[in-house]
Amino acid sequence: MPKTILIAEHAGFCHGVKRAVDKTLDANAHYPDQTVYVLGQLIHNPQEIERLAQQGIKTVAHLDDVPAGSVCVVRTHGATPEVFDALAEKGVTLQDATCPDVSLVQNKAIQLAQEGYTVVIVGKADHPEVIGIKAHAEKAVPGAHIVAVQTSAELVPALQQVPRRRVGIVSQTTQLEETFFDMVKTLSKLAKELKVFNTICPATFYRQNAAADLAAKVPVMVVVGGKNSSNTSHLADICREAGAQTVHIETVAELDAFAPLKNTTTVGVTAGASTPEWVVEEVLDYLKCLA
Ligand code: SF4
């Protein structure tokens, strides 16, 4: 029964996610006679996607499911140039919600490829943001050498396939700082010349630091956000590493099974950049009732 509930200084919706949700809702209001489609999950939060669905906004997984002439939102993670071309061919009214911080990574990767560097993207190769970054750089510089790796262990085999004398490095926006700097350290031993763009977005950086600070002060942490959200999962990892007993939940119902809450007087709360305020409020209300 926690008596004190502390909330991380930076938690919940970031500016990129807020902008994407606002753009989608604006489009829905602006085109009342049309269905607004979102290609892929607008943000990695199932509860917010469901809330949008209840307002008639339709999330589709494939380009083929976006009807010609419809209104379509491209999500915060961005999309490949081929997707933008295909949407234009379909005569779609485009609402591009690519986060400006994601566009920045795309531009830095293009710059590195244009300068002749082998480009290393630190991130999950199958994550939509990373797929988009790679595709934009490949389109801008055909034949460029670009690899996406998640860990230093993957780096050596990946670089065996490409020139590694001059290497440039960028990061998926939501990457753990520790992972990125570990990769920079490894690369500095493998390449003759290394150009580094730390493209972890400020919102991620602030949330990670605030989570680490709070988790170091409290025995128990509740991390709220989509299980499919990279940045939320990273927050949970950070809290565990800081020593707090940590649970990563999507909805308040999951807290019933989290035993450490019953024995602590203090609990910390943080939320991923894609977690809406109303989900966090439900968690806070639950915790207040325990107090
Ligand atoms: S986490 Fe960063 S990159 Fe992702 S939407 Fe938010 S501000 Fe943009």
Helix-, strand-, coil-residue percentages of the chain, each rounded to 5: 45, 20, 35
pTM over 0.85: yes
User: Ligand 1: distance of its center to the CA of 12 in Å?
Assistant: 11
* Residues 74 and 94: beta-carbon distance below 8 Å: yes
Series of mean pLDDT values for 10-residue runs along the chain (291 residues):
88 95 97 96 92 96 96 96 97 97 98 98 95 98 96 90 94 93 94 97 94 98 94 95 97 94 94 95 93 67
Interior/surface letters 164-185, b for 16+ CB within 10 angstroms, e for the rest: bebbbbbbbbbbbbebbeebbe
50 given a catalytic annotation: no
Q: Which of 48, 89, 129, 154 is catalytic?
A: 129
Owner of token pair 């919102």: 203
| Residue matched to tokens 């209840």 | 54
- 140 Cα to the center of ligand 1, angstroms: 23
Closest CA to 240 of 263, 268, 212, 207: 212
What 3-state class would DSSP assign to 290? helix
Note the residue count of the chain.
291
E-only strand ranges, the chain:
4-7, 36-39, 58-60, 71-74, 93-96, 118-122, 146-149, 166-171, 193-196, 220-224, 245-249, 266-271
Number of H helices, E strands in the chain: 10, 12
Pocket-testing residue among 10, 13, 17, 74, ligand 1, by greatest number of atoms within 8 A of Cβ: 17
Cα of 227 vs centre of ligand 1, distance in Å, is 17
Quick check: 70 and 34 in contact, CB under 8 A?
yes
- Nearest atom in ligand 1 to 202's CA: 2
243: its two tokens: 């020593």
Q: Which residue has its alpha carbon closest to ligand 1 atom 7?
A: 16
Q: Whose CA is nearest to atom 8 of ligand 1?
A: 16
Helix spans in 146-266 (H): 152-159, 177-190, 202-215, 230-241
Q: What is the pLDDT, as a whole number, of residue 291?
A: 67
- CA of 69 from ligand 1 middle (Å) equals 29
Query: Which residue carries 């993957």 as its tokens?
Result: 154
Give the mutation target among 10, 98, 99 for probing the ligand 1 site: most ligand atoms within 8 A of CB.
99
User: Ligand 1 — pocket residues by CB below 6 A?
Assistant: 14-17, 76, 99, 101-102, 173-174, 201, 203-204, 231, 273
Q: What is the pLDDT of residue 109?
A: 98
Q: Is the dihedral of CA 23, 277, 210, 273 positive or negative?
A: negative
SS3 147: strand
